[in-house]
């Protein structure tokens, strides 16, 4: 919890900023302000890192609510009421503003002024990233709200809905590959790190591994991010998710997220449910999934998860090593900062 009397930093932030980004912002003439009411799993912060480290643009990242798991942040305000004119001075300097807050400005749930960002009359990019988008995809008010923005980006391909055809770009999660050395160790330790068990398919996973002999299971939850990474690094196989979105009437997610990337970047064979809708959504979002994607599809049932785990464990050692190396290359190719930074800047320059 950030106290109201806490020290104010640059632009009125209640947390210390990323100093290198501040200098880059001053020096550059191409700027994007990324605004997130709450940056779940740090995904939009990583986009800002990708832009600042691999493109000619400068990015600043603003969150209203800090993350309880200690993910990195740039500027944080703690509550909408603490956003003052110093923030608006920053927003006025931006060329593009990207927001991660699916319906907060539509229904007021973020408790911020509805014109907080729009008053600056800059191109606005709307990010589709989670449960609210799935829940309200058929709501005409929500559709009008999304389409009122100058561009739409989907963080996962299942959120590229047909009514967004021609307007949406699928740009996946980013990870800084350079900070993670390849580090897979072959073992029968199966890892899983659920942020929300009901959404990740944890119960079905537990049923599946209970039927597989001679495995050790590590369910990583309730610990800080550094501990999560430490425990992931010792597993031989990682299961991410095969769940339904509890926020969206049980709609299937059908893709993988940051948790999977943190395993896959180490070369750990990674499992998740990859739905047909997600594959089709990537096409609609002008970013088709290459056929060599090594994420092993589990389906949605415990039987499907069991089959996928056994498929990896039953490989001969050389094939499992090749899957591991391919998994690392996939992250470098599809999720690395260079690739994601170029895609984002291409979108901004089109505006």
Decide which of 6 and 65 is more confident.
Answer: 65
Q: Where are the beta strands (DSSP E) in the chain?
A: 31-38, 58-65, 75-76, 96-100, 124-128, 151-154, 168-170, 189-192, 216-219, 237-239, 244-245, 251-252, 270-272, 296-297
Q: What is the pLDDT of residue 138?
A: 95
**Residue 268 burial class via C-beta count within 10 angstroms: exposed 0-12, middle 13-18, buried 19 and up:** buried
Whether 10-174+337-350 and 177-335 share one fold: the answer is: yes
Can you tell me whether residue 50 is helix, strand or coil? helix
Q: What is the pLDDT of residue 1?
A: 45
Q: Which of 51, 34, 57, 64 minimizes the C-alpha distance to 124?
A: 34
pLDDT digits (tens, 9 = 90+) for 163-185: 999 999 999 999 999 999 999 99
Q: Give CA 7 to chain center in angstroms.
A: 30
Ramachandran angles phi, psi of 104, nearest 5°: -60, -40
Average pLDDT over residues 119-128: 97
Instruction: Give the angle subtended at the CA of 224 by the CAs of 221 and 227, to the nearest 5°.
Output: 80
DSSP, res 239: E
Give the contacts of 1 (CB within 8 A, at least 6 positions apart): none
pLDDT digits (tens, 9 = 90+) for 96-121: 999 999 999 999 999 999 999 999 99
Q: What is the pLDDT of residue 279?
A: 96
Task: Kindly report the average pLDDT of the chain as a whole number.
Answer: 93
Q: What is the pLDDT of residue 66?
A: 78
Can you give the residue ranges of every domain in the chain?
A: 10-174+337-350, 177-335
Q: What is the pLDDT of residue 5?
A: 53
User: Which CATH architecture group holds 177-335?
Assistant: 3-Layer(aba) Sandwich (3.40)
pLDDT at 273 over 90: yes
Q: How far apart are CA 236 and CA 240, in angstroms?
A: 13
Strand partners, 169: 153
Q: Which of 134, 133, 157 minimizes the C-alpha distance to 145?
A: 133
Q: What is the CATH number of domain 10-174+337-350?
A: 3.40.50.11010
pLDDT digits (tens, 9 = 90+) for 204-230: 999 999 999 999 999 999 888 889 999
DSSP, res 258: H
Decide which of 34 and 73 is more confident.
Answer: 34
pLDDT at 72 over 90: no
Can you tell me whether residue 320 is helix, strand or coil? helix
pLDDT band at 246 (very low <50, low <70, confident <90, very high): low
Average pLDDT over residues 267-282: 96
pLDDT band at 32 (very low <50, low <70, confident <90, very high): very high
pLDDT digits (tens, 9 = 90+) for 77-90: 999 999 999 999 99
């Amino acid at each position: 919890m950030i106290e109201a009397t806490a020290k104010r930093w640059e632009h009125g932030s209640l947390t210390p900023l990323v100093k290198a980004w501040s200098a880059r912002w001053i020096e550059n003439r191409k700027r994007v302000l990324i605004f997130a009411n709450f940056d779940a799993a740090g995904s939009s912060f990583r986009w800002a890192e990708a832009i600042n480290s691999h493109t000619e643009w400068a990015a600043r990242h603003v969150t209203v609510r800090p993350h309880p798991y200690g993910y990195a942040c740039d500027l944080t305000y703690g509550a909408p009421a603490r956003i003052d004119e110093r923030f608006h001075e920053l927003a006025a300097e931006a060329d593009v503003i990207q927001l991660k807050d699916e319906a907060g400005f539509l229904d007021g749930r973020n408790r911020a002024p509805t014109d907080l960002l729009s008053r600056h009359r800059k191109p606005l990019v709307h990010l589709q990233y989670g449960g609210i988008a799935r829940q309200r995809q058929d709501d005409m008010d929500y559709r009008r709200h999304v389409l009122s923005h100058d561009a739409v980006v989907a963080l996962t391909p299942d959120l590229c809905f047909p009514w967004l055809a021609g307007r949406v770009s699928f740009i996946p999660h980013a990870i800084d590959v350079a900070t993670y050395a390849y580090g897979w160790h072959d073992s029968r330790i199966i890892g899983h790190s659920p942020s929300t068990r009901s959404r990740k398919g944890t119960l079905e996973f537990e049923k599946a591994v209970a039927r597989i002999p001679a495995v050790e299971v590590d369910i990583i939850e309730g610990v800080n991010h550094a501990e999560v990474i430490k425990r992931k690094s010792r597993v031989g196989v990682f299961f991410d998710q095969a769940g339904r979105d509890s926020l969206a009437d049980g709609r299937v997610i059908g893709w993988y997220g940051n948790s999977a990337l943190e395993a896959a970047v180490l070369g750990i064979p990674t499992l998740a449910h990859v739905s047909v809708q997600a594959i089709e959504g990537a096409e609609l979002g002008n970013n088709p999934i290459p056929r060599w994607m090594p994420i092993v599809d589990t389906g949605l049932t415990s039987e499907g998860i069991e089959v996928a785990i056994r498929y990896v464990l039953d490989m001969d050692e050389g094939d499992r090593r090749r899957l591991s190396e391919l998994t690392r290359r996939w992250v470098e190719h599809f999720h690395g900062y260079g690739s994601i930074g170029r895609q984002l800047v291409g979108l901004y320059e089109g505006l």
